[in-house]
Amino acid sequence: MDLDAIIKKLPEAKLLVVGDVMLDHYIWGDATRISPEAPVPVVHVFNDTWQAGGAANVALNLTSLQVSTTIMGVCADDDAGTKLKEIFTDRKVGYSGLQTAANAPTILKTRVVVQKQQICRIDREAAPVAYALQTGDALRSVCDGVNAVIVSDYAKGVVTGDLLTELTAICADQKCLLAVDPKPRRRLDYKGADLMTPNRSEALELAEISIGLHDEFPAKAVCQAIWERYQPHRLVVTLGGDGMLLAEEGKILGRLPTRAQEVFDVSGAGDTVIAVLTAALAVGASLLDAAHLANAAAGVVVGKFGAATVSPDQLGNACRDSHLPLIDSSPALKQI
């Protein structure tokens, strides 16, 4: 399918994102001197901005591409929760699946940025148990009529083994695609996923393979081990500057070279990848075509600061600028 045709079909999809929602707060300032109280910079603040983070950023990536999207997660009835809902309203994300935490704040990450350099991050959140979802009928209701469900796990408490079991059954009943961005250190059972999108370190952890940071990535061993443990129909491993490794039914299709021209900030790039991959697959794209689109979208967002999104026009332009081939020979894979 032509990539432009896929982009035009994306508004036909209806997706649900389930996962850990959070608010990203940026404090922008200048620092010209060191505090006399401690050896730290004195920051003069000139602006505050807020963005949706975590699973919420996945949802924003979808609506930026005009995909009908609903978010299911947990936030509190506090200032951060109100700001998050305002962002959802402004960006046309449905939040009928959003539940209220009784004894925990909305997850809030505050970053202090001086001259485009982040100097510290302040996190406000409770223990994971505080963000558990009420599932059952509530989960089945928000899944009704969707073409695909994305599970965005940031290990904050929403995604549990029970949730994955319920979602797998619901998606099988409704014949909709289930995509998972995993956090393997939690040892959850991801069997039943149609798509998994771990990064390099997550893929190694899922495969239970340990190598050095600069060692050659054992592509075949990793894909085979993940297939044996989880049987994902499609597997896309994001490898940073080495592009994306693609596999179906445990068999490697090849690797797409990276599309990024200038990397400014990789925050949220994984959110963009799973959003674009899933939406494209939901409208009938092949894994290769979906990966080309996701690769192009990631190349756009890493050139922006913070968790970012891509518009249909930006995505179309990125695809037309260059359409990189799939590298599928064994020698090429060994170079990863």
pLDDT of residue 212: 83
Each residue's pLDDT, cut to its tens digit, for the chain (336 residues) gives 789 999 999 999 999 999 999 999 999 999 999 999 999 999 999 999 999 999 999 999 999 999 999 999 999 999 999 999 999 999 999 999 999 998 999 999 999 999 889 999 999 999 999 999 999 999 999 999 999 999 999 999 999 999 999 999 999 999 999 999 999 888 899 998 999 999 999 999 999 999 987 888 999 999 999 999 999 999 999 988 888 999 999 999 999 887 655 555 455 688 999 999 999 999 999 999 999 999 999 888 877 666 678 899 989 888 876 566 666 544 444 443
* Full strand arrangement of the beta sheet holding 14-19: 94-100, 68-75, 14-19, 148-152, 177-181, 195-196, 234-238, 244-248, 251-256
Q: Establish if 97 belongs to a structural domain.
A: yes
- For 308, the domain range is 3-30+45-334
Number of separate domains in the chain: 1
Q: Establish if 79 belongs to a structural domain.
A: yes
Q: pTM for the full model?
A: 0.92
Q: Establish if 321 belongs to a structural domain.
A: yes
Q: Establish if 158 belongs to a structural domain.
A: yes
CATH code: domain of residue 290: 3.40.1190.20
For the question of residue 181 being annotated catalytic, the response is no
Q: Establish if 37 belongs to a structural domain.
A: no
Q: Establish if 36 belongs to a structural domain.
A: no
pLDDT of residue 261: 56
d(C-alpha 185, C-alpha 105), whole Å: 24
Q: Establish if 103 belongs to a structural domain.
A: yes
Annotated catalytic residue, options 271, 289, 313, 328: 271
Q: Establish if 302 belongs to a structural domain.
A: yes
